[in-house]
Amino acid sequence: MSKQGNIQISSENMMPIIKKWLYSDKDIFLREIVANGVDAITKYKKLVEMGETAEDESNKDYCIKISVDKDAKTLTVEDNGIGMTEDEVEKYITQIAFSGAADFLAQYEKAGGDGIIGHFGLGFYSAYMVSENIEIYTKSYREGAKGVHWESDGESTYTIEECDKAERGTRIVMHIAKEEKEFLDEGRIRGLIEKYCAFMPYNIYYNFTGKDDKALNDTNPLYLKNPKDCSEEEYKEFYRKTFHDYHDPLFWIHLNMEYPFRLKGILYFPKVKSKVELERGKVKLYCNQVYIADNIKEVIPEFLTLLNGVIDCPDIPLNVSRSFLQNDRQVQKISRHITKKVADKLTGLYKTDREKFEQCWNDISVFIKLGCIKDEDFYSKVKDIIIYKDLNGEYKSLDEFIGKKPEEEKAAEGEAEQNGEKKEEEKQPTTIYYISDEVGQAQYIDMFKNAGLNAIVCDTFIDTHFVSYLEYKEPTKFRFLRIDADVDAALKSAEAGSEEENKALTEAFKAALKNTDVAVKAEKLKNESVPAIINVSEFSRRFGEMNAFYGMAGADTDRDMTLIINTANPVIQAFTGLDEDKKKFVANQVYYMARLAYKKLSPEEMKEFAENNAALLKNYIG
Ligand code: ADP
Ligand code: MG
């Protein structure tokens, strides 16, 4: 006997809102329907396990079958789970499922429309985003249960009647709406299964034939296994399959904990392809093997999304709004735990396999530096393992570079601060020179090496930020100067020239220079062969770089240039004795040479420099 009824919750005004809001994210309907099948199988198995019912020997290949009938325009999902009686369909589908959707909407509105994570709680109803009509054929596991057929357009009415269904389980037949016909496309459906159902715990088949069918999913993904039982090859294989990246990962972290919350997953450090750009990775979040979304920043700290990984966390309350997640203690704990594990892995590698750590450094340094800037906890855990290449090509931590022991070790050795004076002295930050461009700064590097000085290489796009961050975090420890920002005492000759002479020289030089913006200063350098070098104030250069980084107009990285003329150089020594024309010629030529060693000349400057050189050559050959 067939029965008809009205859907109790008024869904006429609900559907348009849900449809509109979820428009961009309709895909999740398939996950919801398949996940219901998974739940139904799990429930049945549980009953068998508890001895509530005897396992049906003829129907125990637990699986979910998905098929498309293009002519009938239907998409069908069938499971052999627990099934439903007529009463249960009334209760769970007609009443609860629809009221669940109403709850969802109420929550969504309460949350100010900020998006409900994974849209859980919408469940069965979400299939109406793509269907004009849905039929359910189901048969409960209960003795003597009859098949039930339910049908509704999801708007306001439904029918329910008895039907012939031989096997236990539920078949959902979705009559796909005209404008959603993409969901009748095999490739589209396979793509959705791969994305949302890749690790679901029962076999999922597309167009099941009964012979040689291959499941589309991996029911026992590697991340669920005990790390002890996983081989290196398995980790790499899992990475390739999950992320379609054919470069092996550098290394990985297998998370596996039960207490105080359940968390399983694998985070992979990929090889980076470019030094000047961040490549966003993908950390896929799962809940009991059901895919939720990528890179949920409330659960996975944002900087970790530079990695690739899977995280399965059954304890996250998913049917809540994002703003709730942000303030949830449990979620914060999970996020902190993941960060801690990553820091532990990195410090572990540094301590046990420094060679490998150094080999990987180029690939992980941007990630680590970004992590430090974004997360102070992370910084305090990894600060001693941040290394830099020096001018000799050796990797050193900053403490190693300045010849200090890391604080940890010092404390362990009980090295106490001796007296007040020493304390004061220690408060002076150590100046660390860095280079950002081995070619552009070659002249400075050469002078540095000859004077027995060293510098670190900071050549990734994040380094200007990072050194500023270090100075802010460790104001009494480090101060950073780019190699061309200042003339270190070690580069200067012991006897400086007289102040008066220098003053006269710089004034004469400045008067002869065409470029009136540049400041001039005389120094006696050890290196006699260089007539002049350019210095640029660290502060203004950084300011300009930051502006450029944020794409701000008027970014000028040329501010505050100083031409350091070298009084040890014969040309400079002869300068004051020259006639006015020669002074002009020499001053400009010296300036252009210094500029060339620092950065490119402007087109006009380059033209004049080339003409002058041609004239010089002509004079030279007489
Ligand atoms: P939820 O899964 O969060 O409970 P849904 O709207 O997805 O919400 O489903 C509502 C209810 O309908 C389920 O709790 C379950 O009792 C029932 N149900 C849905 N699909 C199936 C199925 N394939 N087999 C058995 N019961 C189902
Ligand atoms: Mg559900």
Give the pLDDT mean for 63-86. 97
Q: At 161, list the tokens.
A: 């009647």
Residue 82 pLDDT grade (very low, low, confident, very high; cuts 50, 70, 90)? very high
Give the pLDDT mean for 275-302. 83
* Selection from 368, 342, 343 nearest residue 278 by Cα: 368
The closest residue, in CA terms, to atom 8 on ligand 1 is 123
Task: Tell how strand 290-294 and strand 263-269 pair up.
Answer: unpaired
Residue 117 pLDDT grade (very low, low, confident, very high; cuts 50, 70, 90)? very low
What does the pLDDT read at residue 108? 61
Instruction: Tell me if 322 is assigned to a ligand binding site.
Output: yes
Angular region, 584: left φ>0, alpha ψ -120 to 50, beta rest: alpha
pLDDT over threshold 90, residue 415: no
User: Distance between CA atoms of 493 and 568, rounded to whole angstroms?
Assistant: 8
**Contact status, residue 40 vs residue 79, Cβ threshold 8 Å:** yes
Q: What is the mean pLDDT of the chain?
A: 86
Tracing tokens 């039907």 back to the chain, one arrives at: 163
* Ligand 1 atom index nearest CA of 81: 24
Identity of the highest mean pLDDT range in 95-104, 160-169, 459-468:
160-169
Amino acid at 474: E
pLDDT over threshold 90, residue 43: yes
Residues 417-467: pLDDT tens digits?
A: 444 445 555 578 999 999 998 888 888 899 899 889 999 999 888 888 899
pLDDT over threshold 60, residue 62: yes
User: Distance between CA atoms of 460 and 472, rounded to whole angstroms?
Assistant: 19
What does the pLDDT read at residue 95? 77
pLDDT over threshold 90, residue 316: no
What does the pLDDT read at residue 260? 84
Query: Which residue among 32, 39, 116 is best mutated to probe the pocket of ligand 1, counting the most ligand atoms within 8 A of its Cβ?
Result: 39
What does the pLDDT read at residue 318? 65
Residues with CB under 6 Å of ligand 1 are: 32, 36-37, 39-40, 79, 81-82, 84, 92-93, 96-97, 100, 123-125, 170
Residue 46 pLDDT grade (very low, low, confident, very high; cuts 50, 70, 90)? very high
The closest residue, in CA terms, to atom 13 on ligand 1 is 92
User: Distance between CA atoms of 417 and 429, rounded to whole angstroms?
Assistant: 16
The closest residue, in CA terms, to atom 4 on ligand 1 is 123
Q: At 548, list the tokens.
A: 């450029």
3-state secondary structure of 151: strand
**Contact status, residue 587 vs residue 513, Cβ threshold 8 Å:** yes
Q: How far is the CA of 31 from the centre of ligand 2 (A)?
A: 9
Q: How far is the CA of 419 from the centre of ligand 2 (A)?
A: 69
pLDDT higher at 600 or 520: 520
pLDDT over threshold 60, residue 604: yes
Q: How far is the CA of 96 from the centre of ligand 2 (A)?
A: 11
Residue 410 pLDDT grade (very low, low, confident, very high; cuts 50, 70, 90)? low
User: Distance between CA atoms of 98 and 154, rounded to whole angstroms?
Assistant: 9
The closest residue, in CA terms, to atom 18 on ligand 1 is 36
What's the start-to-end Cα distance of the chain, in Å?
117
**Contact status, residue 196 vs residue 30, Cβ threshold 8 Å:** yes
What does the pLDDT read at residue 468? 93
pLDDT higher at 101 or 296: 296
Query: Which residue among 28, 66, 92 is best mutated to probe the pocket of ligand 1, counting the most ligand atoms within 8 A of its Cβ?
Result: 92
Radius of gyration of the chain (CA): 35
Instruction: Tell me if 274 is assigned to a ligand binding site.
Output: no
pLDDT higher at 621 or 163: 163
Residues 343-402: pLDDT tens digits?
A: 999 999 999 999 999 999 988 998 999 999 999 999 999 999 999 999 999 999 999 999
Q: Which long-range contacts (CB under 8 A, 24 or more apart) does 466-470 make?
A: 466/369, 466/372, 466/373, 467/434, 468/542, 469/372, 469/373, 470/398
pLDDT over 70 percentage in the chain: 86
Instruction: Tell me if 36 is assigned to a ligand binding site.
Output: yes
Residue 584 pLDDT grade (very low, low, confident, very high; cuts 50, 70, 90)? very high
pLDDT over threshold 80, residue 131: yes
What does the pLDDT read at residue 119? 47
